[in-house]
Amino acid sequence: MVTRRDFHRITMAAAAAASLPASASAQSAPAAPATAAAAAAAAGENRRAEPRATLRPELYGTHGIVAAGRHYTVEAGRQILAAGGNAFDAGAAAVFAAAVNEISHFGLGGEAVAMVYQAGSGKVSVISGQGTAPKAAKPAYFAAAGVIPGNGPNAGTIPAVVDAMALLLQQFGTLSLAQVLEPALQLADGFPMYGWLRTSLIRNHDSTVKWEWSRRTYYPDGRIPEIGEIFRQPNLAATLRTIAAAERSALAKGADRVQAIEAGRDAFYKGDVAHRIAAATQADGGLLSYEDLSTYRGRVEAPVSTRFQGYDVHKPGFWSQGPALLLTLNILEAAGIDKVRHGGELYLHTLAESIKLAFDDRNAWFGDPLFANIPAEGLLSKSYATERAALIRMEASLEHRYGDPFAHQRGGKHPAIAFRPHRLQLAGEPPGDTTAIEIVDAQGNLFSCTPSSGWLIGGAYVAGDTGVPLSNRLTVFDLDPASPNVLVGGKRPRTTLSPTIVTRGGKPFLAIGTPGGDSQDQQIANVLLNIILGGQNIQQAIESPRLNSEHFHESFGDKRDAPGVLEIEDRVPANVLTALARRGHRISLPGDYGMGTATVAVGVNEKFGTLRGGADVRGERYAYGW
């Protein structure tokens, strides 16, 4: 089976060390100071690297900036901003547009976890656009297979996109559902095929056409449109029109804006569309029911946050992997990352070791707090970070080291049996991918969203004649009853989807996101550190070489791990790569810009109050500002 890790692994430590110049030198590992700060002081390191040239410029504007996965998605957000909508209206439009034109990575039946910063109040909120498990989903159902499938009628949580975007508009937007759906409707009626999507349709043909409505939706004439040829999704267009028509009908009957948006939402979850989704899924052996759809309701929640070097970093709660970024930053700060040369060997080693510790804790302790006892206070405490940072040595760890956050928590009951992540014996299906949408408007409102699932990768499952591809997120659950992330009907999986808002002194600073599954918060950490510690602008920070640990157990499929494996882009100097390998890191070189993620970010220039943004050259990301 080919996994995300296999896609990008080119070589391991021995091969990497053998291919690098013999003259490269490393700092001595034995008996070295335990913390990055102490080692840096001993070595007299300069903490900032030289500025880097970029392949693309950082963008600037005063009216708005939209950064996203494809130019069609960016244009949808831009149109809404130009029409007078705010960042949240534009965000909804961009998400709906992405569900139409980025189907290699995301579809309308997937998820859309989002965060917003309101410039007027300085408040950050989370829209938990992560669907829950169908009520009939239980570990026993998947026990014989030993793994939850990643594709097909039983791969998905309840579709959350329409609900999440309705919540966004009702509580934070100014426009109607019909207005923000219009760009997506135009795209569903037809858009010129582009190379990335055509390649995905080709590669996933055999695994997709085995489902009748997937074949009829994506390969209607038994062929794939050429690049530049119009690609149409009439059934999806009809579903979107049903939502808009229900809203218009409610307005005509005297409903106010919020009530009308609710009527449009309900057309998807309680009307004929829901009946057809459930009937098609169950006809193919799926667990999703009409009751699951009609009773589903997302939430608006407070974020979890930490302060790093004077910046407040905000993430979704422990039902997501988002807090792993906060743990990473806390450990880095405790280890003295700000005292070492940015981008140097010791910096990269400390970053990699901090990620390992944070993500081992993610796997051991994170889960939906509505169903599990999560030691959130302990995990986020600075004292716990200091304890974890003390475990970092000058050599790479090849072990999984799980902490005890309950020792740093007021109250809360330590589980009688602590869950320890492990690889499943049977192989799961390969993970798919994601997209990201970041928007800032003239007022400084920030929108960050990481839409995902309903992807083509591994074979899309389209629910009947609705044109809606269903989620792939159920496989993120554990089957072990000791896990806080064990599968339970009505529960959110510990999703990898991880939008990010950064503020400083209550003011807007950055909205940032990326595709990449388990890599998302690692890549966001790379970029944030480049900005905060490296003094880089957004585009420099995005394009700079990155690392990615594969040490911990991944979220998808068979939950495999790769102890000590460190992906790191080839542009890192050869002597640094050699030194990292000598420390015991098992180096994998994916290429100059080969990291399998594609970051986008927007924000506000602290000095001038103007807007700025950037988009990754990896993954063909796009941004526009004016």
pTM, two decimal places: 0.92
Q: How far is CA 41 from CA 27, 38, 44, 472, 493, in A?
A: 13, 5, 5, 48, 43
Q: Of all residues in the chain, what percent carry a pLDDT higher than 70?
A: 90
Structure tokens at 485: 């992330």
pLDDT for position 249: 98
Q: Does pLDDT of 618 surpass 90? A: yes
Distance of CA 323 to the CA centre of its chain: 12
- Identify the CA nearest to 85 among candidates 345, 381, 395, 447: 447
The Cα 26–Cα 177 span in angstroms is 58
pLDDT for position 1: 38
Q: Does pLDDT of 522 surpass 50? A: yes
The Cα 400–Cα 103 span in angstroms is 36
- Tell me the average pLDDT across 44-72: 84
**Got the DSSP string for 285-341?**
T----HHHHHH----EEPPEEEEETTEEEEE--TTBSTHHHHHHHHHHHHHTGGGS-
Lowest mean pLDDT across 406-410, 438-442, 445-449: 406-410
Q: Does pLDDT of 44 surpass 60? A: no
- All domains of the chain, ordered by start, with CATH? 4-56+303-411+499-625 (1.10.246.130), 106-114+121-300+452-476 (no CATH)
Q: Does pLDDT of 23 surpass 90? A: no
- Indicate the DSSP class of residue 551: -
The Cα 338–Cα 356 span in angstroms is 19
* Helix pair 520-532, 323-335: axis angle to 10 deg: 40
CB count in 10 Å sphere of residue 257: 17
Query: pLDDT, tens digit, for every residue of 447-485?
Result: 999 999 999 999 999 999 999 999 999 999 999 999 999
Under 8 Å CB-to-CB from 264, ≥6 apart: which residues? 166, 177, 178, 243, 244, 246, 247, 250
Query: pLDDT, tens digit, for every residue of 259-313?
Result: 999 999 999 999 999 999 999 999 999 999 999 999 999 999 999 999 999 999 9
Can you tell me which residue has the tokens 């990699």?
Answer: 352
- Tell me the pLDDT band of 51, cut-offs 50, 70 and 90: low
- Tell me the pLDDT band of 85, cut-offs 50, 70 and 90: very high
pLDDT for position 416: 79
